């Protein structure tokens, strides 16, 4: 599945947002472990698999201000729910062309 870092050069429809909302308990410890020792490609593969299960053609990783505003998110909310640690200021979207 293609992964776009930044906006694609063709039209697309957003099917949904992929996020990581672990904020307490053992899962939060796991998140810290993932961030310190996990590989970003595994997290990207997980995002792609989630998008594929929902019928997406690709995933879009973007920190575009207009896209983030369309989701009515503050930068703190994006950072706290980002599933990709190397792109913690970006949102991850499942998209269809």
- Report the pLDDT averaged over residues 54-67: 96
pLDDT at 77 over 70: yes
For residue 80, pLDDT over 60 is answered with yes
Q: Is the pLDDT of residue 53 over 60?
A: yes
CB 18 within 8 A of CB 92: yes
pTM of the model: 0.81
Q: What does the pLDDT average to over 65-87?
A: 92
> How buried is 56 (Cβ within 10 angstroms: 0-12 exposed, 13-18 middle, 19+ buried)?
buried
Average pLDDT, the chain: 85
Q: Is the pLDDT of residue 52 over 80?
A: yes
Give 81's contacts (C-beta < 8 A, 6+ positions apart).
19, 20, 21
């Amino acid at each position: 599945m293609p992964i776009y870092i930044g906006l694609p050069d063709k039209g697309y429809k957003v099917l949904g947002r992929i996020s990581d909302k672990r904020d307490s308990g053992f899962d939060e410890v796991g998140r810290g472990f993932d961030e310190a020792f996990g590989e970003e490609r595994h997290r990207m593969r997980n995002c792609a698999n989630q998008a594929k299960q929902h019928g997406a053609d690709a995933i879009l990783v973007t920190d575009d201000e207009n896209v983030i505003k369309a989701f009515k998110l503050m930068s703190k909310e994006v950072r706290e729910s980002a599933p990709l640690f190397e792109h913690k200021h970006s949102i991850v979207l499942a998209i269809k062309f």
